[in-house]
């Protein structure tokens, strides 16, 4: 199973951009890169996903390296509500299996 590596924790100031990195050097050609986040006392929630091209949605942007061995989740303006554990996940070749990495705990300071 392809694995991801993320920093354990990061800090950001409110209303500033945040770049959350993820390494996935063993990614296969058909693995999608997903990001989920888990707010305190809640289940994980989907943030964004991509395969090869950079992706944008209302929550965040995903920048994928050309060799696909790393990616970066970008929150354009962090708010206090964005404080959470962010998981970078590669989708296993078997249908439906998400392999969660250890995640990055993001703290947002006012």
Partner 1 sequence: DTEVTQTPKHLVMGMTNKKSLKCEQHMGHRAMYWYKQKAKKPPELMFVYSYEKLSINESVPSRFSPECPNSSLLNLHLHALQPEDSALYLCASSQGPAVGSYNEQFFGPGTRLTVL
Q: Is 107 in the site for partner 1 (CB under 8 A)?
A: no
Nearer of residues 41 and 53 to partner 1, judged by Cβ: 41
Q: Taking CB under 8 A as the rule, does residue 68 contact partner 1?
A: no
- Which lies closer to partner 1 via its Cβ, residue 42 or residue 53? 42
d(CA 106, CA 38): 10
Residue by residue, DSSP assigns 41-100 as: TS--EEEEEESSS-EE-SS-EEEE-TTSSEEEEEESS--GGG-EEEEEEEE-SSTT-EEE
**From 29, 40, 58, 96, residue interacting with partner 1 (rule: CB under 8 A):** 96
Q: Work out whether 65 is an interface residue with partner 1 (CB under 8 A).
A: no
Closest approach of Cβ 17 to partner 1, in Å? 24
Cβ atoms of residues 11 and 66 within 8 Å:
no
Taken in order 79, 53, 48, 9, is the CA torsion positive or negative? Answer: negative
Residue 5 DSSP code:
B
The interface mask with partner 1, positions 32-51, x = CB under 8 A, is x-x-x----xxxxxx--x--
Q: How many residues bind partner 1 (CB under 8 A)?
A: 23
List interacting residues with partner 1 (CB under 8 A): 30, 32, 34, 36, 41-46, 49, 87, 91, 94-103
């Amino acid at each position: 199973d392809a694995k991801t590596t993320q920093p354990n924790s990061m800090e950001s100031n409110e209303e500033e951009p945040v770049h959350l990195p993820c390494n996935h050097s063993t990614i296969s050609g058909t693995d999608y890169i997903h990001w989920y986040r888990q707010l305190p006392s809640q289940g994980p929630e989907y943030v964004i996903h991509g395969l090869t091209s950079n992706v944008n949605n209302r929550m965040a942007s995903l920048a994928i390296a050309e060799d696909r061995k790393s990616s970066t989740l970008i929150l354009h303006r962090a708010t206090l509500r964005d404080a959470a554990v962010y998981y970078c996940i590669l989708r296993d070749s078997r249908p439906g299996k998400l392999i969660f990495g250890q995640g990055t705990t993001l703290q947002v300071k006012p």
